Amino acid sequence: MILLKPKLSTYISLSAVVLMLLLGLILMLKDFTYSRSFGLWFYLVGCSLITLVLLMLFVKMMAGWRFISAGKEQVVIKLPLRGSTKVYPVAEILAWEEETVLANKREFKQVTLVFKDRNSISVSNHEHESYTEFISYLKKKAPKQWVKPKKS
C-alpha cells in the first residue's frame, strides 16, 4: 500500500512564515495602540495585507492536508479536516496527467487525477512523500487513463 502524506518540512516552513506574519501583525497593532508613529493609512493597509496573506496561507495549509493511499486496485482519499474519506476503485479514474515544470534548475512535478464523479485531486512531489511510487502505481494500474504530455 502506497501512502502519500504531506511532508513535515513543508508544514514546518509554512507554520514559521505564519508565525512571523502573526507576530508582525501583533506588533503593528501594538504600535498603533500605544505610539501611533505612522499615519492611519499605513496601519489600515499594512494590517489588511498581512491579514490577507495569513488567510491565504491558512487556506493553503488546510487544503493540502490530505492523505492518499493507493493499493489493492483502489485509491483512498482522506481529508481529516473535513472528516471525510472517499474510496475510488482504479476503474473509476477517468484521466490522470502529470505536469512537469523546470524552475530554478529544479524539477517540480504535479499529478492530477479526475474521477467519474467529477472530483479531482492534485498532488505534487515537493509537498507529498512517496510521489514517485504513486506515479509508478498509476502507470501500472491505469495506463489507458494517462493523458500523455503534448510535445511542443
pLDDT of residue 151: 66
- Reported as a single tens digit per residue, the pLDDT across 23-74 is 999 999 999 999 999 999 999 999 999 999 999 999 988 888 889 999 999 9
pLDDT of residue 98: 92
17 grid coordinates: 512564515
Between CA 151 and CA 61 the distance in angstroms is 33
67-141: CATH class: mainly beta
Lowest mean pLDDT among 4-13, 43-52, 115-124, 142-151: 142-151
β-strand 74-79 against 84-89: which pairing, if any? antiparallel
pLDDT category, 101, cuts 50, 70, 90? confident
Nearest to 61 by CA among 111, 120, 14, 123: 14
pLDDT category, 82, cuts 50, 70, 90? confident
Is residue 5 classed as helix, strand or coil in its secondary structure? coil
Going by C-beta distance under 8 Å and a sequence separation of 6 or more, which residues neighbour residue 116?
92, 93, 94
